[in-house]
Amino acid sequence: MSDTIPDLFTPLTLPCGHTVPNRIAKAAMEENMADQASGLGQVPGEALVNLYQSWADGGAGMLITGNVMVDATAMTGPGGIVLRQGTLDNPDIRTRFEDWAAAGKSGGASLIMQISHPGRQLYAAQGVEAVSASDSRLDMGSETLSKLFAPARAMTGDEVRGLIARFGESALAAKSCGFDGVEIHAAHGYLLAQFLSPLTNMREDEWGGALENRARLLLEIVRSVRDRVGSDFIVGVKLNSADFQKGGFDVRDATQVVEWLGAEAVDFVEVSGGTYESSAMMGESQDGRVSQSTHDREAYFLSFAEQMAEVASMPLMVTGGITQRDTADRVIGSKGVELIGLARALIITPDLPNRWQAGSTDSGPVQTVSWKNPALRSLANMAVAKANLRRMSRGQDPKRRFNPVLASLVQQKNQAVQTKRYKDWLEKDAN
């Protein structure tokens, strides 16, 4: 890493040798836009091509996709994308992934596929078994909301080793379709974060107990991916700075994991935080409140990243609530932070990087739902974001505000349709 303070629009050469044209990344958001009507299953289609073309035209130096699942029976949502061994044997499916990659890279950005497994964060309505580090179930603050998610059983040792191979296979498939890299999702309460956290990992084998064992799965997956894709492909990791739950994975743990990742061929670590139960990625603590200091400074996880930078040997990326140019400049000027992630700001203003490069001080104002119940509020915020993602996927301009009740109802209806199509496909074709 350089000791000089970069400008937002200074190119960045990553450890693998790949140069990113500027320091602004479109962070991952859960699009759930598989073209299920194609009859090909959980594959990209015109909606995702249009969406990523909009972001490609907007000027970000890196685009990180929403979740692409490594297992067809482990989906964050029924409209998600799956890329696993054998998927690309069908030339029609391969073409769809290649078209998605071409759109995302058309403006010169580096395109990164986020590869993921949700573990226990899996909707019960999807009708598949959830797995996790240990037997557990989400606590969403009410029994009604908690029942939306399937109870999880502990993975066997063989299943853990199979998962390591799956991540490597999905990364190689992404490379073969033209993507520039992958980001391994180990944050936000997903499966790898479930292994990292002592709240969800109560195993007594080689994958549980001390932090060294709880981090073993992530490190083995990084090695599997790098072994499959070679030295010239971008490999990033998304890591929680903390779970923001008492007794959970914290910044001391995260700092140690970053140090261990430094011994691997990792090109960047994206610093985030929170889980479905504690939506810190939305700026909230476990009790649903946003501290005034966090709200004012926008970059939720910057102070954690600064601690992690003390041991980081790779560039760090900070994501979380950044909407303003002065915030972006302050974050990129922090020691060790060489990339910033914009998420919901690029739903409202997809060309915000181009505007900033032209000298504008425009911001990407984000609609925030202020309902009292934290879990419902988080779901409503996601519904509002997805309403704009759907508009962009149809070639329409984003809207500044939506009725959150209506957006939530539309999201529920869409999810019901997607769930039926997903279950039909899974029954007929996934195996």
- DSSP letters spanning 90-136: SHHHHHHHHHHHHHHHTTS-EEEEEEE--TT--BGGG-S-EEESSSB
What is the CA 189 to chain-centroid distance, rounded?
Answer: 11
Average pLDDT over residues 332-358: 94
From residue 14, how far is each of 266, 269, 297, 316 by CA, in Å? 9, 11, 28, 11
Three-state DSSP at 340 gives strand
pLDDT digits (tens, 9 = 90+) for 54-92: 999 999 999 999 999 999 999 999 999 999 888 999 999
Instruction: Tell me what the pLDDT averaged over the chain comes to.
Output: 91
Residue 428: predicted pLDDT: 86
DSSP-H helix ranges across 234-367:
251-261, 292-297, 302-308, 325-332, 345-348, 352-357
CATH of domain 12-367: 3.20.20.70
**pLDDT for residue 392 is more than 80:** yes
pTM of the predicted model as reported, rounded to 2 decimal places: 0.93
Q: Which pLDDT belongs to residue 211? A: 97
- The tokens describing 341, both together, are 């992630």
Is 231's pLDDT higher than 70?
yes
pLDDT exceeds cutoff 70 at 22: yes
pLDDT tens digits for 213-230?
A: 999 999 999 999 999 999
- Amino acid 293: pLDDT: 39
Q: Spell out the domain ranges in the chain.
A: 12-367
Round to whole Å and give the CA distance between 49 and 58.
Answer: 14
pLDDT at 321: 85
User: d(Cα 384, Cα 371) in Å, to the nearest integer?
Assistant: 13
3-state helix, strand, coil in the chain (%, to 5): 40, 15, 45
pLDDT in tens, 118-170: 999 999 999 999 999 999 999 888 898 899 999 999 999 999 999 999 999 99
Distance CA 46, CA 34 (A): 9
